[in-house]
Amino acid sequence: MKTLGYYNGRYDEIEKMSVPMNDRVCWFGDGVYDATMARNYVIYALDEHLDRIYNSMAGMRIRPPMPKYKMGELLNGLVKKLDTGDQFVYWQVTRGTDDRNHVFGEGPSNLWVTLRPRRPKDTYKPVILITAVDERFYYCNIKTLNLLPSVLASQRAKEAGADECVFVRDGFVTECAHSNVHILKDGAFITHPADKLILPGIARAHLLRWCRQNGVKTELRPFTKEELFDADEVIVSSSGSFCLQAAKVDGRAVGGGAPELLKAMQDAMVRDFAEKTGGGTVEF
């Protein structure tokens, strides 16, 4: 198969699939999701992504459609059905199927999966960022399907010729529209604490672990927009791009002050991805 769409046990190529109009995702975006990459038909950091989506379900009071290990087995089986082992693996759990009503019942949840051929974004290619006011609500730590503010911010970035949009709330940087953002300053890796204002990114966790294992100071604290512009390096991270260097923010050149440390972090992330997905050289 070239692509795969899955819904509650049925699957086919995505273009041939359909879902009920009264799935609550259609009314309210009532659900949570997660995503990662696969290479050589091996799903990267699957256990960590499963932990996060089950935490997201708990945070939204959504009943899991199956035990966590069963979902892992299902995803591992589905990726083998595509023609290529390099895939973007996306799955979401919605609260269920019912008539439109803000109050939810106790019905079973629905599981969606989509698989598409894709390689990771080149983590060594610098990106351009813009900033915008963070107008999202206080469930940013849960990977919900309510993404309109991020959609609008991503569109604004595209129209500005940028790759990603950095959110700023009350003068402090939180995260990006669909990734985490960090800075390097005076040899320290600085990132917003994992509270309700950011998603606890898997790549973010990997970067923190590498820093602690290699004697790089870490600071989990809010940092300002001014600190972003003054940083030695500005880093954007996600499971599909690992550790990107920002070259410009709002049209101003940033970073370039800690190239060796940045390169070591990028190499470590790519090496981890390679080792956990069958070895060899990662192709972007």
Burial of 218 (0-12, 13-18, 19+ CB in 10 A): middle
Residue 62: partners with Cβ closer than 8 Å, 6 or more residues away: 31, 32, 56, 93, 94, 95, 109
Does the active-site annotation cover 276?
A: no
DSSP summary character for residue 62? P
Per-residue tokens: 188: 């320290």
CA-based nearest residue to 190, from 165, 164, 222: 222
* C-alpha distances out from residue 143 to 109, 116, 224, Å: 16, 20, 24
* C-alpha distances out from residue 67 to 72, 95, 116, 220, Å: 9, 16, 25, 33
Active-site residue identified among 121, 143, 158, 248: 143
Separation between Cα atoms, residue 31 and residue 144, nearest integer Å: 6
Active-site residues, by number, are: 143
